[in-house]
Chain A
Amino acid sequence: MAYRKTVASLVAAAAMLGTSTVSYAAATDITWWHAMGGRLGEVVNEISTGYNASQDACNLTPVYKGGYEDTLTAGIAAFRAGEQPNIIQVFDAGSATIIGAKGAVLPVEDLLKDNGVAFNIEDYIAGVRYFYADSTGKMIGMPFNSSAPILYINNEAMEKAGVEAPKTYEDFEKIAPKLKAAGYVPLVQSHIPWEFIENFKSRHNLEFATNNNGYDGAAGTELVFSEPIRNHFKAVKKWLDEGYFGYYGTGWGDNQTPFNDGKVALWIGSSGSFGGISKTVQFPFSATYLPYWNSVKGAGTASFIGGAALFAMSGKPDAENKCVASFFKYLTSPEVQYQWHRETGYVPITNAAYELAKKDGYYEKTPAAEVGIKQLNLPAGEWTKGYRMGFYVQIRDVMNREIGKVFSGETSVDEAFDTIKADGDKLLARFAKTVEN
Chain B
Amino acid sequence: MKKVQFRNAWFPYLLLLPQLSIVAIFFLWPAAEAVRSSFYLEDPFGFGATFVGFDNFVDTITSTDYGRIARFTGIFTFCVTFLSLGIALLLAVKADKVIHGASTYKTLLMWVYAVAPPVAGLIAILLFDQHVGPIVKLVALFGWKMQIGVNYFDTGFAMVIAAVWKQIPVNFIFFLSGLQGISKSVQEAASIDCRSGFRRFWTVTFPLLAPTGFFLLIINITYAFFDTFGIIDVILKTEPGNNPVTLVYKVYLDGFRGNDLGGSSAQSVVLMILVFILTVIQFRLIERRIHYT
Closest B residue to A104 by beta carbon equals B45
Whether A235 is near chain B, meaning CB under 8 Å from some CB there, is no
Closest B residue to A253 by beta carbon equals B237
Interface residues in A197-231 by Cβ distance below 8 A to B read none
From A69, A254, A258, give the contact of B238 (CB < 8 A): A69
Whether A136 is near chain B, meaning CB under 8 Å from some CB there, is no
From A69, A103, A257, give the contact of B257 (CB < 8 A): A69
From A80, A257, A404, A434, give the contact of B150 (CB < 8 A): A404
Closest A residue to B63 by beta carbon equals A423
Chain B hits for A261, CB < 8 A: 131
Chain A 391-403, CB-CB to B under 8 Å as 1, else 0, gives: 1011001001111
Whether A319 is near chain B, meaning CB under 8 Å from some CB there, is no
Closest A residue to B255 by beta carbon equals A73
Contact A400/B242 with A97-B44, A407-B150, A422-B64 known, Cβ cut-off 8 Å: yes
* Size band of the interface chain B makes with A: 35 or more
* Cross-chain contact B254 with A394 (CB below 8 angstroms): yes
Whether A247 is near chain B, meaning CB under 8 Å from some CB there, is yes
Whether B118 is near chain A, meaning CB under 8 Å from some CB there, is no
Chain A hits for B59, CB < 8 A: 426, 430
B146 to chain A, nearest CB (A): 12
B257 to chain A, nearest CB (A): 5
Whether B52 is near chain A, meaning CB under 8 Å from some CB there, is yes
The stretch among B26-34, B203-211, B258-266 that forms the contact with chain A is B258-266
Whether B147 is near chain A, meaning CB under 8 Å from some CB there, is yes
Chain B hits for A79, CB < 8 A: 45-46
Q: Which of B46, B47, B131, B243 has the most CB of A within 10 A?
A: B47
Chain A hits for B63, CB < 8 A: 423, 426
Contact A430/B150 with A79-B45, A400-B240, A437-B49 known, Cβ cut-off 8 Å: no
Closest B residue to A74 by beta carbon equals B256
Whether B222 is near chain A, meaning CB under 8 Å from some CB there, is no
* Cross-chain contact B41 with A103 (CB below 8 angstroms): no
* Cross-chain contact B240 with A397 (CB below 8 angstroms): yes
> Using a Cβ–Cβ cut-off of 8 Å, how many residues does chain A contribute to the interface with B?
48
B39 to chain A, nearest CB (A): 13
* Cross-chain contact A408 with B151 (CB below 8 angstroms): yes
Whether A378 is near chain B, meaning CB under 8 Å from some CB there, is no
Interface residues in A66-104 by Cβ distance below 8 A to B read 67, 69, 72-73, 76, 79-80, 97-98, 100-104
Interface residues in B45-101 by Cβ distance below 8 A to A read 45-50, 52, 59, 63-65
Give Cα A397–Cα B48 distance, bound, in whole angstroms. 26
B277 to chain A, nearest CB (A): 28
Chain B hits for A394, CB < 8 A: 253-254, 257-258, 260
Closest B residue to A73 by beta carbon equals B256
Closest A residue to B256 by beta carbon equals A73
Contact A393/B242 with A249-B147, A407-B150 known, Cβ cut-off 8 Å: no
Contact A248/B147 with A73-B257, A400-B239, A430-B260 known, Cβ cut-off 8 Å: yes
A21 to chain B, nearest CB (A): 41
From B45, B52, B64, B237, give the contact of A101 (CB < 8 A): B45
* Cross-chain contact A434 with B41 (CB below 8 angstroms): yes
* Cross-chain contact A437 with B48 (CB below 8 angstroms): yes
Give Cα A103–Cα B242 distance, bound, in whole angstroms. 36
Closest B residue to A395 by beta carbon equals B258
* Cross-chain contact A80 with B130 (CB below 8 angstroms): no
B34 to chain A, nearest CB (A): 16
Chain B hits for A248, CB < 8 A: 130-131, 147, 149-150
Whether B241 is near chain A, meaning CB under 8 Å from some CB there, is yes
Give Cα A98–Cα B237 distance, bound, in whole angstroms. 24
Chain A hits for B238, CB < 8 A: 67, 69
Chain A 311-354, CB-CB to B under 8 Å as 1, else 0, gives: 00000000000000000000000000000000000000000000
Whether B144 is near chain A, meaning CB under 8 Å from some CB there, is no
Contact A249/B149 with A394-B254, A433-B50 known, Cβ cut-off 8 Å: yes
Chain B hits for A408, CB < 8 A: 150-152, 242
B204 to chain A, nearest CB (A): 49
A226 to chain B, nearest CB (A): 22
The 7 closest A-B pairs by CB, nearest first: A404-B242, A249-B149, A250-B241, A101-B45, A250-B239, A394-B258, A434-B43
B interface residues (Cβ-Cβ under 8 A, vs A): 41-50, 52, 59, 63-65, 130-131, 147-152, 237-243, 253-254, 256-260, 263
Show 8 A/B contacts (Cβ-Cβ < 8 Å), sorted by A: A253-B237, A254-B131, A258-B131, A394-B258, A394-B260, A400-B240, A401-B65, A408-B152
